[in-house]
Amino acid sequence: MRQVGIFRHNLFRLSEPFITQQAGRLHRYRPLYLGRLRYGVAPPGAEALALEDLAPHMRLLPAAWHMLSANPHPYLYMLEGRRPNLLHAHFGVEGVYALPLAARLGIPLVTTFHGFDATLGPLGLLANPAWAHYALGRGRLARQGALFLAASNFLREKLLALDFPPERVAVHYIGVDSSAIAPRSPALEEPIILHVARLEEVKGTEYLIRAFALIAPQFPLARLVIIGEGKRRKSLERLARETGVAGRIAFLGPRPHGEVLSWMRRAAMLVLPSVKTESGREEGLGMVMLEAAACGVPGIGSRVGGIAEGIEEGQTGFLVPQRDPEALSVAISTLLANPTLRLRMGEAARRRVEQHFDLTRQTAALEEIYDSLLP
């Protein structure tokens, strides 16, 4: 069986189950996870090599050194002469850092772009020390990388605008596991408005809270459940108090993937009111919407980035203008007031996931992509 190195600096984050889900569905390639730090537990039976293991008592030191140098030697040392058949980096930042390792091993490098790595402008990248090396090395990655996978058509267009070669940029939806996520029973539904996201500007959580405050008097049983963590949490909690709806909003912080799915199965809708930031950052697709759709839950999203590729307007949910609490409140109210519409849209959303975003089908296509890069 061939082996693929799955390259991600911060391994096994709760917010990134799609990476291990995709790798876990590979049949003809064995995944080997490579990264700097572990933020969770590896999937059962999976092998993972992390730079933090080189100095357990100073786990951040090897990671910091690699961030500054991009030197592949620590990974070569951990591999002990082994040579995967190819590397697959998740996010463009990782692609730049994986490029020297792929060159030393003499193997192809595939890089998947998920969002900020194709939309954030140079000033936004340079403002973050962890991304500065990417900002400076993105052109080299475009020239030397074997293949670039965009998580949406929107991101492919962004990559082409950044002078990535068209013949080496392909759209590949990662997909969700529709065989493991069964459609929920309508009896499980509660008047819950669910939001699953990092609490950062790009996710538009502020506008959801303001929209919820507008509809709260009309729907006294409705509540807003927010899953995720981020630097804006305190300001968002303050906004909830200022708008008078703090008692009906639950900030749950990060939650394991299984618990997130449980909340989805109870929710009346999933809302992702993302925005385009001044730095240019936009939503690449919104995997969380696809997971909710697999549960049979309708979605509401902004007309921003790749969100429109995950929600079919009027069929599986609604699309609204960004930064518009009033329009968002109308869409939320429409779904809350119409259980028949919610059921119809949820069923259509499930069918659409099965047809276009099935993880098994998409991973089989990924293996064919791997095959095309190897002798």
Listed by start position, the domains of the chain span: 2-175+358-372, 186-356
Tokens of 102: 């792929």
Considering Cα of 321, then 327, then 329, then 333, what sign does the dihedral take?
negative
Q: Percent of the chain beyond pLDDT 70?
A: 100
Count of C-beta atoms within a 10 Å radius of residue 56: 7
Half-sphere exposure of 208 (CA within 13 A, CB side): 29
Please report which confidence band the pLDDT of residue 250 belongs to, taking 50, 70 and 90 as the band edges.
very high
Residues 6+ apart with CB under 8 A from 368: none
pLDDT digits (tens, 9 = 90+) for 309-330: 999 999 999 999 999 999 999 9
Q: Give the tens place of pLDDT for each residue, 51-86.
A: 999 998 888 999 999 999 999 999 999 999 999 999
> Sorting pLDDT into bands at 50, 70 and 90, what band is 200?
very high
Over residues 232-241, the mean pLDDT reads 98
Q: What number is the average pLDDT over the span 280-292?
A: 94
Task: Give the pLDDT confidence score for residue 259 in this predicted structure.
Answer: 96
Mean pLDDT along residues 188-196: 97
pLDDT band of residue 141 (cuts 50, 70, 90) is very high
Predicted pLDDT of residue 124: 83
The model's confidence at residue 15, banded by pLDDT at 50, 70 and 90, is: confident
Sign for the pseudo-dihedral over CA of 133, 228, 248, 186: positive
| CATH code assigned to 186-356 | 3.40.50.2000
Confidence (pTM): 0.92
| Predicted local distance difference test score (pLDDT) of residue 291 | 96
Cα separations (Å) of 137 from 94, 98, 99, 148, 295?
Answer: 11, 11, 10, 15, 40
Q: Please state which CATH class domain 2-175+358-372 belongs to.
A: alpha beta
Q: Measured between alpha carbons, how far apart are the two ends of the chain, in Å?
A: 14
Report pLDDT for 122: 84
pLDDT in tens, 330-344: 999 999 999 999 999
Residues 6+ apart with CB under 8 A from 320: 273, 300, 301, 302, 303, 327, 328, 330, 331
2-175+358-372 against 186-356: fold identical: yes
pLDDT recorded at residue 142: 98
Q: Which pLDDT score, from 0 to 100, does residue 126 have?
A: 84
CA distances from 222 to 186, 218, 253, 332, 339 (A): 17, 9, 20, 10, 13
Given the structure tokens 């002469």, which residue do they identify?
81
Q: How confident is the model at residue 226 (pLDDT cuts 50, 70, 90)?
A: very high
122-139: pLDDT as tens digits: 888 887 877 889 999 999
Q: Given pLDDT bands bounded at 50, 70 and 90, which one contains residue 121?
A: confident
- Rounded to whole angstroms, the Cα distance separating 271 from 224 reads 10
* The pLDDT value given to residue 130: 79
Percent of the chain whose predicted confidence (pLDDT) is above 90 = 93
User: In this structure, is the dihedral angle defined by the CA atoms of residues 349, 351, 354 and 355, taken in order, positive or negative?
Assistant: negative
